Amino acid sequence: EVLLVESGGGLVKPGGSLRLSCSASGFTFSITWMSWFRQAPGKGLEWVGRIKSKSAGGTTDFPAPVKGRFTISRDDSKNTLYLQMNSLKTEDTAVYYCATDVYVWGQGTLVTVSS
Amino acid sequence: DIVMTQTPLSLSVTPGQSASISCKSSQSLLHPNGKTYLYWYLQKPGQPPQLLIYEVSNRFSGVPDRFSGSGSGTDFTLKISRVEAEDVGIYYCMEITQLPYTFGQGTKLEIK
């Protein structure tokens, strides 16, 4: 069974940084493209970025609202995905989900950006 | 960015009846490789989204055959036959034909 468990969420001040982790099991992590999504309170879904498998180049892509502030990395030896978030803004407040590209999503972790 | 527009934004359905949700994209979702990357999700209350349909019409693992997807180009439809109480939640369409991935606004399904 595919299982994704996010961690690292919490309260951070505007301008601060936070790193989320996503521990994966139940599938071959190293060959799987992975994505991050988010959902602001009471709002719809938004794609935050993706990382390709190393065999596909390991490159990352981001939408405009987070480009230059967020980075995604992966440690295939630990079956773990990361989302590094810098220069956080209040509008980044959301539940953050990792996903096996677009197929299976984790339960999410809440990030609150507030002074 | 491709804009995804869902209609209706809410619907109330009697158990056993069918329901349809439309999703229209601002550009064709047909990729040069011949595939169309249109997906449907259901987000049940308090849960993460779960994939129902991938690439327009393929049911994901474990999804009941009451759910079906159709469409092409810019017009897509999710149909739920014989709606059950467990189908309540918000349905989203999403495209990944072109970066960035974009979602529709969501359609809230309630049971009468």
115 residues of chain A, pLDDT tens digit each: 999 999 999 999 999 999 999 999 999 999 999 999 999 999 999 999 999 999 999 999 999 999 999 999 999 999 999 999 999 999 999 999 999 999 999 999 999 999 9
Q: Which residue has the tokens 């987000």?
A: B43
Number of cross-chain residue pairs from A and B with Cβ atoms under 8 Å apart? 48
Q: What are phi and psi of A29, to 5 degrees?
A: -60, -40
Provide the shortest C-alpha distance from residue B8 to chain A (in Å). 15
Q: Do B92 and A46 touch (CB under 8 A)?
A: no
The residue among A102, A103, A104, A109 with the most chain B CBs within 10 A of its CB, best to mutate, is A102
A107 in contact with B, Cβ within 8 Å: yes
pLDDT of residue A100: 97
Nearby residues of A67 by Cβ (< 8 Å), 6 or more positions away: none
3-class SS of residue A31: helix
pLDDT of residue B9: 98
Q: What are phi and psi of B2, to 5 degrees?
A: -80, 130
Mean pLDDT, chain B, rounded, equals 97
3-class SS of residue B83: coil
Q: Which two tokens stand for residue A65?
A: 């609202």
pLDDT of residue A54: 97
Among A47, A109, A52, which Cα is nearest to B94's? A47
Chain B partners within 8 Å of A64 (Cβ): 100
Please check whether residue A81 is in contact with residue A5, taking contact to mean a CB–CB distance below 8 angstroms: no
pLDDT digits (tens, 9 = 90+) for B23-34: 999 999 999 999
Q: How far is CA A44 from CA A16, A37, A91, B28, B94, in A?
A: 24, 11, 13, 22, 11
Please check whether residue B94 is in contact with residue B5, taking contact to mean a CB–CB distance below 8 angstroms: no
What is the pLDDT confidence band of residue B8, given thresholds at 50, 70 and 90? very high
A108 in contact with B, Cβ within 8 Å: yes
pLDDT digits (tens, 9 = 90+) for B37-59: 999 999 999 999 999 999 999 99
Among A112, A62, A61, which Cα is nearest to A89's? A112
What is the pLDDT confidence band of residue B112, given thresholds at 50, 70 and 90? very high
Provide the shortest C-alpha distance from residue B103 to chain A (in Å). 7
